[in-house]
Amino acid sequence: MAPILLNCVGNDNKDYIKQHVQVKNPYLDTMEEDILYHFSLGTKTHNLPEMFGDIKFVCVGGSANRMKAFAQFMHQELKLSGNPEEIQDICAGTDRYCMYKVGPVLSISHGMGVPSISIMLHELIKLLHHAQCRDVVLFRLGTSGGVGLAPGTVVITAKAVDYSFLPQFEQVVLGKVITRSTELDEGVSNELLQCSSELNSFPTVIGNTMCTHDFYEGQGRLDGALCSFSHEEKLEYLSKAYEAGVRNIEMESTVFAAMCRVCGLKAAVICVALLNRFEGDQITASHDVLVEYQQRPQNLVSYFIKKRLGLNV
């Protein structure tokens, strides 16, 4: 069966930032209560507009520890009162994800891979909708394998592409393939690039990001428990990816871009390259170097947020 293409959010896209965050599910309006199970939150048990109504920036990343550290970092950057070491995990009632609120910023972990982040995104978008949030920008902060880039380079995603280098995400729904566009907001991407130029602290590029279903075979690694291809075939595939504009590889960007686009949310993906995949598969940099690399997307998004808020940067 031919896939069903859902390419955009319609002609009203230019007006979405003037509205509350939208969901694309008419059945939610008929529910007496919406339980956000994986967040341990609900519309009857929590006052979501009071708790989250002032959120303007949502930052998500794979690691729970990294997103807690980012929340503490943002607490300091925004010069908020209180001890950043004492910020509380809003999702402490579950062990699936962590969530921290610091002023207008929400920091959330999403685990690894499309299934994990997609569950989180469903409940996050519903949370923002129930909280009546307006004019929200979402960021995915992460690590990746670079394609023809030096380690430490930050990639701002132009388009999230699949294994065929197409800007689309395929979701099987009731046995049918639904195909959604994965184009991200060009304005936010350009604004981030300008912020990086002003920071002038690390190399940053805009390029396509390839999203795969796993870390090993799907990314053409030769060091997994299984390998059904040669070194030459790996390099040939990476060369085709590079020619298609791919500059890094990770495992969450397509569903992130697709879901944000369908719901009319401005979003960006910012990942640092930990290695150049043309030169190897294993991550061999020291712990201290990797920690500094992982802080680069955080520093860039922090600068963006402070600039948007009119704070001294």
Binding residues for phosphate: 96, 140-143
Distance CA(224)–CA(295), nearest Å, equals 27
Nearest 10 degrees: CA dihedral of 90, 95, 98, 101?
Answer: 0
Structure-block tokens of residue 234 = 């790996």
DSSP 282-293: S--S-HHHHHHH
Annotated binding site: 96, 140-143, 219, 221
Q: Could you give phi then psi for residue 287, rounded to 5 degrees? A: -60, -45
List Cα–Cα distances, 309 to 78, 105, 305, in angstroms.
9, 11, 6
- Work out the number of other CB atoms within 10 angstroms of the CB of residue 131: 23
Binding-site residue set for substrate: 219, 221
* Side-chain half-sphere CA neighbours of 156 within 13 A: 25
